[in-house]
Amino acid sequence: MNQEKREHWKSQIGFILASAGSAIGLGSIWRFPYITGEYGGGAFVIVYLVCIVLIGIPVMLCEFALGRRTQRDPVGAYAALSGNNRFWKLVGFMGVASGFIILAYYSVVGGWTIAYTLKSLTGQIAQFTTPDSAWQEFLSFTAHPLWPLFFHAVFMVLCVAVVYGGVRKGIERVNDVLMPALFVILIAMIIRALTLPGAGAGVEFFLKPDFSKLTAKAWLIAIGHGFFTLSLGMGAMITYGSYVDRKTDLWSATLWIIFLDTAVSMMAGLAIFPVVFAMGADPAGGPGLIFKVLPAVFNKMPGGTYLWSTLFFFLLVIAALASGLSLLEVVTAHLVDKGYDRKKTAVWAGFLIFLLGIPCSLSFGVLSEYKIFGRNFFDTLDYFAANILLPLGGLLVCVFVGWVWGSSHSFHEIASGSEEVHEHKHKWLKCWSFFVRYLTPLAMAVVFIVSAGVMKVE
Ligand code: TRP
C-alpha cells in the first residue's frame, strides 16, 4: 500500500498514547511490582533501567523504523527491505502468529478482569474477607464452563469494535481516553494507599535496595520482562510504526513510551504493596496477588469493595484492553495489507481468536486434566509465545535491522523527523551501530537461549 493511501495517526501524542497503551498491560501492573519486590527492590529497579537502555530502546526503535520506512505490516515490512526473502517473510509472519496466539489467552484474562469489575461493583466480592476464601471464589469462577467464556467473548468484542473503527477513529480515539483515565485511577489509588497507616512497610518491600538479590537470574528476568512489557518482538510496534508519518520524531516518541510504561509499573507497585502490608496480608505473585490477596485486602479498607476493588479491576480492564487492541491490530493489519477489507477482517480475526481462546479458558475447568508436556493448554500457549516466539522475534528484528537493512539506513530513518538525532549524527550513528549490530542481539540471544529452556540459570 502506498504512503498516500495509508491511514496515519492524527498526532504524535495519539501515536505515543496508543503505543504506551500496547505496552502498559497486565505485565506492567501485576508482574513488575511483584518481581521487583522479589528480586531486590530498588536494586532491581536499577538493573531494570539498564536493561531498558540495553534492549528496550534499541529494539523499539528498530521496530518503529521498519514500520515507518515500509508503511507495511510486519510481513510486508520484512519483505520490502529484504528483496522478498522467504526467511524474513517467515519472521514477519511469526510476529503475526504471535499476535494471534497471545491474544487468545490474554483475552481470557481480560475477561476475568471485566468479570471482577462487575463482581466488585455488585458487591459479590465483599463476602470474601480472607485470601483463602477469595482464592476459592477465583478457582470456582475460572473453572465454570460458561461464565469465563462469556467474558472472554465480551473482551474480544470490545477489541474488535475498536479495531473495526480503524487507526484514527478506533485505536487512537479510544487510547486518547483510556490512557489518561488509567493515570487518574492509578494516582487516586496511590494517594489512598500511601495514606493508610502502616503503608511504609509496603514501600519498603517494594523499593528497599537489596543488592545481594541481584543474581544472574534477576538480570535475565529484568531483560525478559523489559521486553515483554514493551510489547516487543512480534511486530506490534512495526505495525503501529507503519501508521507514523515522516514528520514524527521516533526517538522522542520512543523515550516517552518507555517512560510512561516504566512510570505505570512503578506506580502500580506503590498502589498495591502499601495496601497489602497495611492490611497485614502476605504479598504473593501473579494471579495470586490480583485475585487472592487484593480482593480480601480491599474488603478491609473503608469504602472497600465498592470503590477500591472496582477501581482496581477497572484499571486492569483498561490496561488489558489497550494491549489487546494492539494484538488484534497486528493480525488485522497483515490481512488488510493483503487487500482484505478492514471491517470484515477485524470481525473474522476476532472470531477465530475467540475460538482459540476457548480451550485456554477451559483449561482452568473441564480441560484441566488435559496436559501437553506437563502444561495445560493456556500455559502451553503462554510458554510458546512469551518464551520462544517473542525473544526469537526480538533477536531477529535486531539482526535484520543491524545487518540486512543496515545500521546506516535504519539510522537515517530514525534521524528523519528528529532534530535531536540529526544534530549529533556522527556520534549517534556509531553508538546505534554498536548497539543494534552487537550488544542488543547478543543480549537477546542469551535471553532466548535461557527462556527457551536450553540453558538453566539459578
Ligand atoms: N505489554 C503487554 C503487557 O505488559 C503484553 C504484551 C506483550 C503485548 N507483547 C505484546 C501486548 C504485544 C500487545 C502486543 O501486558
**394/59 Cα distance (integer angstroms):** 7
How confident is the model over 56-67, as pLDDT tens digits? Answer: 999 999 999 999
Ligand 1 centroid from CA 23, angstroms? 5
- For ligand 1, whether the C-beta of 359 sits within 6 Å is no
Phi, psi angles (nearest 5°) of residue 372: -115, 115
DSSP string, 347-395: HHHHHHHHHHHHHHHHTTTTTTT--BTTB-HHHHHHIIIIIIIHHHHHH
**Alpha helix segments (H runs only) across 8-41:** 12-23, 26, 32-38
106 versus 223: the higher-pLDDT residue is 106
- For ligand 1, whether the C-beta of 265 sits within 6 Å is no
Average pLDDT score, the chain: 91
Q: Supply the Cα-derived Rg of the chain in whole angstroms.
A: 21
Ligand 1 centroid from CA 229, angstroms? 6
Ligand 1 centroid from CA 301, angstroms? 31
How confident is the model over 15-46, as pLDDT tens digits? Answer: 999 999 999 999 898 888 888 888 888 899 99
How confident is the model over 130-144, as pLDDT tens digits? Answer: 888 888 899 999 999
- For ligand 1, whether the C-beta of 23 sits within 6 Å is yes
How confident is the model over 187-216, as pLDDT tens digits? Answer: 999 998 898 888 899 899 888 888 988 888
Percent of the chain scoring above 70 in pLDDT = 96
Ligand 1 centroid from CA 100, angstroms? 12
How confident is the model over 171-186, as pLDDT tens digits? Answer: 999 999 999 999 999 9
Under the banding of pLDDT at 50, 70 and 90, the label for residue 457 is low
Residues 6+ apart with CB under 8 A from 40: 47, 209, 210, 211, 212, 213, 214, 218
Q: What is the pLDDT of residue 413?
A: 94
Q: What is the pLDDT of residue 245?
A: 93
Percent of the chain scoring above 90 in pLDDT = 62
**112/225 Cα distance (integer angstroms):** 22
Q: What is the pLDDT of residue 287?
A: 65
How confident is the model over 263-282, as pLDDT tens digits? Answer: 999 999 999 888 888 877 77
Q: What is the pLDDT of residue 126?
A: 81
**224/444 Cα distance (integer angstroms):** 9
Q: What is the pLDDT of residue 1?
A: 45
* Other C-beta atoms lying within 10 Å of the C-beta of residue 216: 11
Q: Ligand 1: which atom is nearest the Cα of residue 228?
A: 7
Q: What is the pLDDT of residue 3?
A: 46
End-to-end CA distance of the chain: 48
Q: What is the pLDDT of residue 451?
A: 81
- For ligand 1, whether the C-beta of 19 sits within 6 Å is no
Q: What is the pLDDT of residue 2?
A: 47
Under the banding of pLDDT at 50, 70 and 90, the label for residue 286 is low
**Adjacent-strand bridge partners of 375:** 372
How confident is the model over 334-382, as pLDDT tens digits? Answer: 999 999 999 999 999 999 999 999 999 999 988 888 888 888 899 899 8
Ligand 1 centroid from CA 109, angstroms? 13
Contact between 458 and 69 under an 8 Å Cβ cutoff? The reply is no
How confident is the model over 87-136, as pLDDT tens digits? Answer: 999 999 999 999 999 999 999 999 999 999 999 999 888 888 888 888 88
Q: Which amino acid is at 40?
A: G
Contact between 109 and 31 under an 8 Å Cβ cutoff? The reply is no
Residues 6+ apart with CB under 8 A from 439: 54, 58
Phi, psi angles (nearest 5°) of residue 274: -55, -35
- For ligand 1, whether the C-beta of 228 sits within 6 Å is yes
**281/276 Cα distance (integer angstroms):** 5
**289/134 Cα distance (integer angstroms):** 11
Residue 298: is its pLDDT beyond 60? yes
Identify the CA nearest to 214 among candidates 48, 56, 57, 53: 48
Q: What is the pLDDT of residue 71?
A: 96
